[in-house]
Structure 1
Amino acid sequence: MITTDKVTEMFCILDEFCKNLDAELTKNLHIAPIDEGYKRMRNRKGQMPKSEIMIILLCYHFGSFRNFKHYYLFFIKEHLASCKEKHYSK
């Protein structure tokens, strides 16, 4: 099983990656004009950061859970909730 120190280290790496990725995407992403028949994409901010979603999925693949729902309810919400509080209190 992954230790909380390793989760913290991976989260920091993924958070930096996501920040750099978002900066590159906003710099290089060109949205086509609406009047040419393209749909407008919503640019709404999500409730959970991308790096947090990625670390949850990464830890899931290292674990031995068969079902993601059980993994999230019985491991993430109970054991890793304290990690989230440490990251966002800084």
Structure 2
Amino acid sequence: HRIINHLGEILALKITAGNTDDRKVVRELAKELIGSLYGDKGYLSQEVADDLAKNGVTFITKKRSNMKASVLEYWDKIM
């Protein structure tokens, strides 16, 4: 698991077993971040998004097929 910035620089890195739930590591990786965090559906959880928002991080990911879609800003959509 890694978090990179817009320049491709690694901001956070954690190596886990393949069977580790992605949602369990995202909070730890993002604890020193502010702004927007883009992730794939494996990191998607309303609880995680709420926790990140409390710390100033907007979590952006595509929704699962059984979830209600939300409107994304153009920049967030192309990222």
Aligning the two structures, in what range does the TM-score lie when normalised by the shorter sequence?
A: under 0.3
Q: Radius of gyration: which is bigger?
A: 1
- The structure with the largest helix share of the pair is 1
TM-score after normalising by structure 1? 0.24
Under a length normalisation based on structure 2, what TM-score does the superposition of the two structures give? 0.26
Which has the larger strand fraction?
2
- Higher relative CO (Cα under 8 Å, sequence separation at least 6) belongs to 1
